[in-house]
Amino acid sequence: MIPKVFKEVIDLGDGREITIETGKLAKQAHGSVVVQSGKCMLLCTVVSNYEQKDLDFLPLTVDYREKFAAAGRYPGGFFKREARPSDGEVLTMRLVDRVLRPLFPKDYHSETQVMIQLMSHDPEVMPDAMAGLAASAAIQLSDFPFECAISEARVARVNGEFIINPSFAQLAESDIDMMIGASADSVMMVEGEMHEISEEEMADAIKFAHEHIKIQCAAQIRLAEAFGKKATREYQPERKDEALEKKVHDMAYDKVYAIAKAGSAKHERSAAFQQIKEDIKATFSEEELADYGGLVSDYYRKAEKAAIRDLTLDEGLRLDGRKTDEIRPIWCEVDYLPSTHGSAIFTRGETQALATVTLGTSRDANQIDMPSQEGEERFYLHYNFPPFCTGEARPIRGTSRREVGHGNLAQRALKNMIPADCPYTVRIVSEVLESNGSSSMATVCSGTMALMDAGVQMKKPVSGIAMGLISDATSGKYAVLSDILGDEDHLGDMDFKVTGTADGITACQMDIKVKGLSYEILVAALQQARNGRLHILDKLVETIAKPNADVKEHAPTMVTRRVPNEFIGALIGPGGKVIQEMQKETDTTIVINEDPVTEEGIVEILGVGRKGIDAVMARIDSILFKPTVGSIYEVKVIKMLDFGAVVEYMDAPGNEVLLHVSELAWERTENVADVVNMGDVFDVKYFGQDPRTRKEKVSRKAILPKPEGFKERPPREDSRSGGRDNRGSRDNKGRDNRRDDRKPREDKQD
């Protein structure tokens, strides 16, 4: 039976379309859609178990995978099967998860899985821009308790014009790359990188994307209605007790407010809050705690959150005693690690990041091998968040999604400040040593200083700050918090991180938890973030004002040299012999790449100190050496022969030429050793290619004065002047005549 297919079309306004289709594939899933633009097709399926888990959070898994078959390729590596997700796939998972998760009810704890797969790839379409649309559309077709349709869209700006869901080629020309997630009513997530744009320009980009997202949300609703909107499933909600909630609130609120107002340190404050919670629990019997002890904990957290928010809104004070726009104390240090190519410590309050920089060749570039994207990164950043940085002991099981996401944000903040002519591959590693509020922004700051300490000629230094927002819709009050603490991250209505130079924003990440946030509040928050960012930037510049002029003595120096294509083989040598010997003798690393445009060889020479690099450069000069006809060169005898001497150009070691015995002196030379010996150094004149021998000709005698009375011998007669045909004139019997005199073979047989 042919399945009935339901389809909706979204017009992107420039001739491109996105279609959402359901009814053909994966019908046993609770919701499934195929989203297509051009030849790019995403299949999204959603399933949520009907039984509730005994957890206090939603066990939601968002999985995004790109199939290599979608691009007609095989997976790289030995095993030809897709394995663990790439960083690019993890970043897409995070983008979708951050928008979906807040829209499930807080008491919905059923295990839920969203799977998005790239099934067909189009090189003109970026699939991650449609992942959020696919996830929400599939959920709209299910019976999940989900608040409203959402979507995500990418915004670029080329020549001053905004573009929705740009191609890879358009994005390469853009000065903005932002992903926005939103419902029809509210913007919920923003993440991206920019080329030093203003806060107003960023707000304009968000508005542009939101208008397109509204259209995408409406298409999902139409598709669900045509398919047949399912009734929302019933589930066992969390137990509630309003009387208990009021009792716990009354017992906790004032005490929490007082401790919050005292402005204590993290561990002291946490211990005090924990004591209040224990004291409240102590007022209940064991039977009561066994019955509703979980509710007591939940209601305590709710009262704690309310007290801290009210303190900020009513008195403008925060947990550590700061005002809303105040930045914690900062201290910085560079060149802390003696053996690294560059290092820096950035400490802001109770957050500390130690960054290191390593310089390498193109061989050290980070390879990107995804079905939708191939290439390499010559600048990349890795972020590590060990458990001790928050005073915890827990297992370490590989790189977490959080580490991938925070590292990517810091990398995007810095990468556009690396000059295009930087010869190195640059790797930054950030080790978070303490954390209480935005270690990713501390990574940006320590990374900036480490780059300058390493001698990387950054265009401008970059700083970053994490901001928060507390608002009350009833009273209209709101407070923007600069440099938020970890606790403020959880209790606020918006968490946004902004990085930039003194001239504009370079990257951002926002999670907006309140509905209908006005653009006026958003721009005000961004302006306050700018003030804080510039304050932090001043602290960085006080520590290191500009990049060091040179790399450190123990760090490698990189020199690049262009070599014509025809000389690359001579530089590499048979089986790589020449280049391997050069690296061994000079203690350098040599990498040769081909310029795709000019087809020249780009030679990278990496070495500690100039001695080895200069030796390699001299060897390259030798290989590229071309003598000029009529010029005089100094040579050295390196081999004696019966008919001359082999000499080597002093300016180009390894370039040899035969000095024939007849060109040694004006007098007749019977023995080469009578004129020159091994190791002798003298001048010769270069005559180019000898037309008779077709070999290069040099002469010693040409630059010597002729002896008095010297007479040149007349040229010899050429005994072969008649040519091959004249030989046949002997006795009037040429080769052809001899053939004529022979009898045919068959006559001999007769």
At 243-286, the pLDDT tens digits run 999 999 999 999 999 999 998 888 888 899 999 999 999 999 88
Q: What is the pLDDT of residue 715?
A: 56
CA angle 526, 532, 538 (to 5 degrees): 135
Three-class SS state of 708:
coil
Quick one: which of 32, 133, 59 has its CA closest to 92? 133
Q: Which value, in Å, is the radius of gyration of the alpha carbons in the chain?
A: 38
Residue carrying the six token digits 């009561």: 288
The model's pTM is 0.84
CA separation for the pair 227, 224 (Å, rounded): 5
pLDDT in the model for residue 742 = 47
Q: What pLDDT shows up at residue 716?
A: 52
**Would the annotation count 725 as a binding residue?**
no
CA 3 to centroid of chain Cα atoms? 43
pLDDT the model gives residue 740: 46
Question: 335-340 long-range contacts, Cβ below 8 Å, gap at least 24?
Answer: 335/453, 339/554
pLDDT, position 125: 95
> What pLDDT does residue 594 have?
87
Contact 225, 218 (CB under 8 A): no
Query: Would you state the structure tokens that stand for residue 555, as one six-digit string?
Result: 């760090």
Residue matched to tokens 């961004």: 526
- In this prediction, residue 182 carries a pLDDT of 95
| Sequence-ordered list of residues with C-beta below 8 angstroms from that of 281, at least 6 positions apart, any chain | 289, 293, 296
143 annotated to a ligand binding site: no
Give the CA distances from residue 648 to residues 654, 671, 687, in Å, rounded to whole numbers and listed in that order.
7, 20, 16
Give phi and psi for 634, each to the nearest 5: -85, 130
φ and ψ at residue 501, rounded to 5 degrees: -95, -175
Cα(33)–Cα(5) distance, integer angstroms = 10
Residue 726 is predicted with a pLDDT of 46
**Given this model, what pLDDT does residue 714 score?**
62
**What is the block-wise mean pLDDT of the chain (750 residues), using blocks of 10 residues?**
89 93 94 96 97 90 95 86 91 96 93 97 95 97 95 96 95 95 93 94 94 96 94 89 92 93 87 93 89 88 92 91 93 96 96 96 89 90 94 88 95 95 94 93 97 96 94 86 88 91 95 83 89 96 95 90 87 88 91 87 89 88 85 90 88 84 86 89 88 86 81 58 46 46 45
